[in-house]
Structure 1
Amino acid sequence: MNVLLITFSFPPAGGVGVLRALSLAKYLPDNDIRVDVLTARNAPAVGKDLTLLRQVPPEVQVHRTWTLDLPFWLRKSVKKAITGGKGKTASPRPEGQVKRQSVLKNWIGNLLLPDPQIGWLPFALPAAARLIRSRSIDAVLITVPPFSSTKLATRLRKLFPDLPIVLDFRDEWLTTTLDLVSFNNNSRARLVAQKTEGDAVRAATKVVLVTEAACNELHSRYSELPKEKFVCIHNGYDVPPPEHSPLPPTPSTTQKVVLTYIGTVYGSTAPGTFVAAVRNLSPAVRSRLHVRFIGHIEAEAYREQLVSLGETIELKGFVPQAEALAAIRDTDYLLLITHDRINVAAKFYDYLGGGKPILGAVHPDGDVRRLLEETRAGRWADVGDPESIRRMLEEAVESPNALIAPDLKRVASYHRRSLTARYASLLKGLAISGRKAERNRIEA
């Protein structure tokens, strides 16, 4: 079977956004599927990670096209100039400044709908059509974000009526991501997003999402479509699963307790309530706590909040994935922050695979809380309640042995190899149906 995997970002681009596409390219060949990858040659990325590129099997052909997009550093500079570097939870600014920045942001944002990566489509569409024909492609898999890539499903459906097309949503779009992360979420952006998503979902053969909550959310929006069109295949981790329960941290009264956060700090992971909780720790507990943030910090306001913690905090910036995973091995706890009710950050699964206890400041009704309880991988507190987070931190420092041992069988079920095997079964079933549909149409 021949599959075309379309992904805007792919190694050597670094960051968690490339890991799902990488795992599909890495493990689908083990399931008798030949993979061609179509990606952007100059996609903006937080950094490069050549160790990820070395994981791509030699038999996987990667096809790269150009995109009309700004480099990562320049895009962040433009965004900072427009927003003043303020995050979602920043303190109020002068009314005149807010109005000027809002007008400029809306004007620029409305030129680039549904998102700035729309400049890839003029290159990606003809390249995809050419590959489908020349490589005898049996199914196309489009993974998003960026959500502008969903337009490829709509346009490819017109060119190839019987071709199985799978839309893979790593994040749910309209309910959460549009508000928490998107550069533009005004009324015009929302209308464009709604139409773009609706057209793509209807054009796709299957829609895959990474959480049950996202699956239910999307089906509720398109309840006229059959429920079986929407499938949940979770994200996962790609390190060897722990073979036994890790020993809980046993910090002494003179030893620092290390708490490590890995990943980008942006709207949905805004650290304000966590910072407030750390400030409210008793001096005895705070003196024993060392917090490391590894990854890019989206807004200056978030950096200022973290730096305000003084010697308690260490900001290490972006590092290659191998180095980030190594940091898991020498930490006592892994810190998770999310305000998102529906989406689950990819780093959560790397945390699971790392085997260290997780301290989660999470949405109390979200899927992250459910997964933490299901896997027994750590504790959680309400991300909107600094006092709840403070209590969790104090208990973790003072009573580490109270942590519940993880359910290793459930943790192992989230390894990317087994999850990709599920994906392979889905794709093979769709390919058989697609060939039958094409034969019937030709005969008719």
Structure 2
Amino acid sequence: MKRALIITYYWPPAGGPGVQRWLKFVKYFREFGIEPIVYAPENPNYPLIDENFSSEIPSDIQILKQPISEPYRFAKFFSKKKTKQISSGIISKKEISAMEKLMLYVRGNFFIPDARVGWVKPSVVFLSKYISENAVDVIITTGPPHSLHLIGMQLQKKMDVKWIADFRDPWTTIHYHKSLRLNKASERKHKALEASVLKAADIITVTSPTTKKEFGMITETPIEVVTNGFDVSEKIDFELDSSFSISHIGSLLSERNPEVLWKVLAEICKENNSFKNDLQLKFAGAVSDEVNQSLEDFHLLKNCKFLGYISHSEALKMQHQSQVLLLVEINSAETRAIIPGKLFEYLSAKRPIIALGPKESDIEGIIAETNSGKFFSYWDDDTLKSEILHLYEDFKKENLNVSSEGIEKYSRRELTKKMASLILN
């Protein structure tokens, strides 16, 4: 077996989507000739916790841990709620306070590429010693946080070992990058570090075709698209919701606020009392103040159920129970490359998907390819309304289904096979 050292910030008991990608690869690697060794922080400051993920770690793999200094831990003394929001990526569009401006400025300009950069130097020292005493065939770094790629770059140069840089999200083109109040020097440093990583890595893996295209303009390093996916889990016991439920799993950030959808739903409720009585909007995860306000403005709060953060197993059950699954991405050119991990679990649930996002989004291609639902831009009022009415009509006939196809290639096992081939070759 080839030995792969995986350097990751997110690892159980972390919750949310960031932990799942490499947890699942590790879960299946041995089937494809890869022995994983995981390196993760000993005392991380995770915004979300899900203890259930720990049960999926193979019992006998080696896990290396080292302490990490977390700036967000100290920032909490000033504003615990705002610190957690910023560390989770929830940056308000409303006028922000002087303290928030200061926190964003410090985060963007003093911690480059991110707040975990202080972990780079001690990690390189620790892992250099480990690699010198233990055979390692390949190093894999996964970001964000993108500072972990600096660990890989230094180890590759120092230890002469193959290095794969895995990008779950873009770097300088990520949607919140412009919110960090970067000065020109900091912006140049981000771009220089990004280019250095992309040019030094032996292989780059990304989760979307658009990110591959963007990175391909910076480097000649081979780039492979290995999307996120879904686990083929044991049978989930569920009953479909009796209401016309439209469910969203995951955070609804300030800018991830599909007012066109709220407007359409409000119109239908006004026109159709039966629809108004049947409609239930279910939200699992953080919901920003802006989204809450919009729902109130459109008189939809009575139709809403806010569940907060739920465990992954609960989320899977909710996806299967729901009549319709909602996927929302920020309406910005910078988010065309973002394919939320929940899309693939939505595919597995085999419920109709309504997705909203920017034009030319990579999400649209996957939904069309798999015949799993419909994708809309933020301006498609009429077609969106027509689709919701069509879904509701099928719901009333007890015939609301979807005939998805070709989703098997997005299973975690198939994706692990693809990732393993990059390590073995």
Query: Cα distance, 1:169 vs. partner?
Result: 0.5
Task: Confirm or deny: 8 A CA contact 1:337 1:362 kept in the other structure.
Answer: yes
Distance 1:315 1:186 in 2: 38
Corresponding residue of 2:201:
204
Alignment of 1:360 with 2:355, yes or no, is: yes
Q: Normalising by the residue count of structure 2, what TM-score does the alignment of the two structures yield?
A: 0.86
Alignment of 1:370 with 2:365, yes or no, is: yes
Query: Cα distance, 1:422 vs. partner?
Result: 1.1
Alignment of 1:142 with 2:141, yes or no, is: yes
Corresponding residue of 1:8:
9
Corresponding residue of 1:436:
none
Q: Secondary structure at the match of 2:105?
A: helix
Distance 1:20 1:367 in 2: 18
Shift of the 376–108 alpha-carbon distance from structure 1 to 2, 3 Å rule, reads closer
Query: Cα distance, 1:45 vs. partner?
Result: 2.2
Shift of the 238–158 alpha-carbon distance from structure 1 to 2, 3 Å rule, reads same
Amino acid at match of 1:168: D
Q: Percent identity?
A: 22
Query: Cα distance, 1:392 vs. partner?
Result: 3.2
Distance 1:296 1:334 in 2: 17
Task: Confirm or deny: 8 A CA contact 1:153 1:203 kept in the other structure.
Answer: no
Decide which of 253, 257, 262 is 1:266's aligned counterpart: 253
Task: Confirm or deny: 8 A CA contact 2:323 2:400 kept in the other structure.
Answer: no
Corresponding residue of 1:335:
326
Distance 1:267 1:152 in 2: 32
Alignment of 1:106 with 2:95, yes or no, is: no
Shift of the 24–100 alpha-carbon distance from structure 1 to 2, 3 Å rule, reads closer
Alignment of 1:412 with 2:408, yes or no, is: yes
Distance 2:86 2:344 in 1: 34
Task: Confirm or deny: 8 A CA contact 1:210 1:232 kept in the other structure.
Answer: yes
Structure 1 unpaired stretches of 5+: 430-444
Task: Confirm or deny: 8 A CA contact 2:354 2:375 kept in the other structure.
Answer: yes
Shift of the 111–287 alpha-carbon distance from structure 1 to 2, 3 Å rule, reads same
Amino acid at match of 2:20: L
Distance 2:142 2:352 in 1: 30
Q: Normalising by the residue count of structure 1, what TM-score does the alignment of the two structures yield?
A: 0.82
Shift of the 213–268 alpha-carbon distance from structure 1 to 2, 3 Å rule, reads farther
Distance 2:175 2:74 in 1: 20
Structure 2 unpaired stretches of 5+: none
Alignment of 1:280 with 2:284, yes or no, is: no
Q: Secondary structure at the match of 1:413?
A: helix
Decide which of 215, 218, 242 is 1:218's aligned counterpart: 215
Query: Cα distance, 1:19 vs. partner?
Result: 0.4
Distance 2:356 2:3 in 1: 42
Query: Cα distance, 1:89 vs. partner?
Result: 4.5
Distance 1:139 1:45 in 2: 27
Corresponding residue of 1:324:
315
Alignment of 1:77 with 2:75, yes or no, is: no
Amino acid at match of 1:236: G
Q: Could you give the per-residue CA deviations for residues 298-318 of structure 1, whole angstroms, max 9, x where no partner exists?
A: x43334334553111111111
Shift of the 3–310 alpha-carbon distance from structure 1 to 2, 3 Å rule, reads same
Corresponding residue of 2:229:
236
Amino acid at match of 2:40: T
Q: Secondary structure at the match of 1:174?
A: coil
Decide which of 291, 313, 318 is 2:281's aligned counterpart: 291
Corresponding residue of 1:153:
152
Alignment of 1:382 with 2:402, yes or no, is: no
Alignment of 1:68 with 2:59, yes or no, is: no
Task: Confirm or deny: 8 A CA contact 1:361 1:389 kept in the other structure.
Answer: no
